[in-house]
Chains A and B, each alone.
Chain A
Amino acid sequence: MERRGLSCRRARAGTPRLVGLIALAAVLWQPAAAQDEGRFDIRSAYTSLRDGVYFLDARVEYRLSDAALEALESGVALTLELQIEVTRRRRFLPDPEVAMLRQRNQLQFHALSQRYVVRNLNSGEQASYATLYAALNAAGRIAALPLIDASLLDDDDDYDVQLRALLDVREIPGPLRLLAFWLDDWRLASEWYTWPLRP
Chain B
Amino acid sequence: MAVKTLKRLAYGTLMLVGAVLWLSALLLLSKTAQSSAEFGRLHELILLINAAGVLILLVLIAINLLRLVTDYRRHVGGSRLKARMVTMFVILTVLPLLLVYWFSVQFLHRGIESWFNVEVEEGLGDALDLSRTALDILMGEYLQRTEAMAETLAAEDDVVGALSAFRTETGATEVTVFGRYGRIIATASGRTSGFLPTRPSSEALMQIRQNRPYVSPEPLADGGYLITAVAPIPSRSPADEQRILQSFYLVTGRLSSLADAVERAYTRYGELVFLREPLKNSFTLTLTVVLLLAMLSAVYGAFFAARRLVAPIQQLVAGTRAVAQGDFDTRLPVPARDEMGFLVNSFNDMTRRLAAAREQARQSQAQVESERANLEVILARLSTGVISLEPGLELRTANQAAGAILGLELEDRLGEPLGSAAGESSLFGQFVGVVERRLSTGEADWREQIVLRGEAGRRVLTCACTALPGEGGTPGGFVIVFDDITALLQAQRDAAWGEVARRLAHEIKNPLTPIQLSAERIRRRYLSSMSELDAQVLERATHTIVQQVEAMKEMVNAFSEYARVPDMEFSRFDLNQLIGEVIDLYRAHEHGIDIHLDLDRALPEVEADAGRVRQILHNLIRNAEEALEGAPDARIDILTRLHRQGDHHEFAEIVVEDNGPGFPADAIEQVFDPYVTSKPKGTGLGLAIVKKLVEEHAGRIEAANRRAGGARVSLLLPVNEAARSAMTPGTPRRHDVQRERA
Residues of A within 8 A of B (CB): 14, 16, 19-20, 23-24, 27-28, 70-71, 74-76, 110-115, 117, 119, 124, 126, 128-130, 134, 170-171, 173-179, 181
Per-residue A-contact encoding for B242-273, CB less than 8 Å = 1, 0 else = 00000000000000000100110011101101
A174/B36 contact (C-beta < 8 A), A27-B285, A130-B216 known: yes
Q: A130-B216, A175-B282, A181-B43 are in contact. List 14 more A-B contacts (CB 8 A).
A: A20-B51, A74-B274, A112-B217, A112-B259, A119-B221, A126-B221, A130-B203, A170-B37, A173-B271, A174-B40, A176-B282, A177-B40, A178-B285, A179-B281
Known: A28-B281, A175-B281, A179-B282. A70 touches B274 (CB 8 A): yes
Q: Are A27 and B281 in contact (CB-based, < 8 A)?
A: yes
Is B61 an interface position by the 8 A CB rule?
Answer: no
* Contact across chains for A27 and B284 when beta carbons are under 8 A apart: yes
Residue of A whose beta carbon sits closest to that of B287: A27
- Can you list the 9 inter-chain pairs with the closest CB atoms, starting with the nearest? A174-B35, A74-B274, A75-B267, A175-B282, A75-B270, A175-B279, A112-B263, A75-B271, A126-B221
Which of B43, B47, B132, B266 is the most central at the interface, judged by chain A CB atoms within 10 Å of its CB? B47
Q: Which residues of B contact A74 (CB under 8 A)?
A: 270-271, 273-275
Could you tell me if B278 and A134 are in contact, using CB atoms closer than 8 angstroms? no
Shortest Cβ distance from residue A12 to the other chain B in the assembled complex, whole angstroms: 11
Residues of B within 8 A of A129 (CB): 203
| Alpha-carbon distance between A20 and B225 when the two chains are bound, in angstroms | 45
Flag if B274 contacts A178 (CB, 8 Å): no
Q: Is the CB of B128 within 8 A of A111?
A: yes
Flag if A128 contacts B270 (CB, 8 Å): no
Docked-complex contact A174 and B32, CB < 8 angstroms: yes
| Shortest CB distance B137–A (Å) | 14
Inside 8 A of A177's CB, which chain B residues have their CB? Answer: 32, 35, 40, 43
A24 pairs with B268, CB closer than 8 A: no
Determine whether B589 belongs to the interface, using a CB cutoff of 8 Å to chain A: no
Q: Which of B33, B48, B202 contacts A178 (CB 8 A)?
A: B33
In the complex, whether B345 has a CB less than 8 A from a CB of chain A is: no
Do the beta carbons of A112 and B132 come within 8 Å of each other?
Answer: yes
Cβ A14 vs Cβ B219 within 8 A:
no
Question: In the complex, are the beta carbons of A16 and B35 less than 8 A apart?
Answer: no
Report yes or no: B282 in contact with A178, Cβ–Cβ below 8 A: yes
* Residue B218 at the chain A interface, CB threshold 8 Å: yes
Tell whether B131 is near chain A: CB-to-CB under 8 Å.
Answer: yes
Q: Is B449 part of the binding interface, using a Cβ–Cβ cutoff of 8 Å?
A: no
Q: Is the CB of A175 within 8 A of B131?
A: no
Binding site for A on B (CB under 8 A): 32-37, 40-41, 43-44, 47-48, 51, 54-55, 128, 131-132, 135, 202-203, 216-221, 225, 259, 262-263, 266-268, 270-271, 273-275, 278-279, 281-286, 288-289, 292
Closest-by-CB residue of A relative to B267 is A75
Question: A110 CA to B286 CA in the complex, in Å?
Answer: 32
Given the contacts A130-B203, A174-B34, A178-B33, A113 and B278 also touching, CB distance less than 8 Å? no
A-side binding surface: helix, strand, loop or mixed? mixed
Question: A170 to chain B: which residues have CB within 8 Å?
Answer: 37, 40-41, 43
Q: Which residue on chain A has the smallest CB distance to residue B283? A: A175
Other-chain residue from A23, A24, A75 in contact with B274 (beta carbon distance below 8 A): A75
Q: Sample 7 A-B pairs with CB under 8 A, ordered by A number.
A: A20-B51, A75-B266, A112-B217, A115-B216, A126-B219, A175-B35, A175-B282
**What's the minimum C-beta distance from B287 to chain A, rounded to whole angstroms?**
10
A173 touches B288 (CB 8 A): no
Contact of A115 among B131, B219, B262, B285 (CB under 8 A): B219
Asked if B274 and A71 sit within 8 Å, CB to CB, the answer is yes
Question: Complex formed: what's the CA distance from A113 to B227 in Å?
Answer: 10
Residue of A nearest to B44 (CB): A14
Once A19-B51, A173-B275, A177-B40 are accepted as A-B contacts, the answer to whether A28 and B270 lie under 8 Å apart by CB is no
Q: Are B128 and A112 in contact (CB under 8 A)?
A: yes
Residues A112 and B281 in contact, CB atoms below 8 Å apart? no
Neighbour of B270 across the interface among A19, A27, A111, A173, CB < 8 A: A111
**A71 / chain B contacts, CB cutoff of 8 Å:** 274
Residue of A nearest to B226 (CB): A128
Question: In the complex, what's the smallest C-beta–C-beta distance from B225 to chain A, in angstroms?
Answer: 7
- State whether A126 touches B220 (Cβ < 8 A): yes
Contact of A27 among B55, B131, B275, B288 (CB under 8 A): B288
Which residue in B218, B285, B286, B292 is a CB contact (below 8 Å) of A128?
B218
**Contact yes or no, B54 A134, CB < 8 A:** no
Q: Let me know if A176 and B270 touch, CB within 8 A.
A: no
Q: Is the CB of A16 within 8 A of B282?
A: no
Contact B219 A113 (CB under 8 A): yes
Nearest B residue to A113 by beta-carbon distance?
A: B217
Which of chain B's residues have a CB closer than 8 A to the CB of A175? 33, 35, 275, 278-279, 281-283
Distance A84 CA – B165 CA, assembled complex (angstroms): 49
**B284 closest partner in A (C-beta):** A27
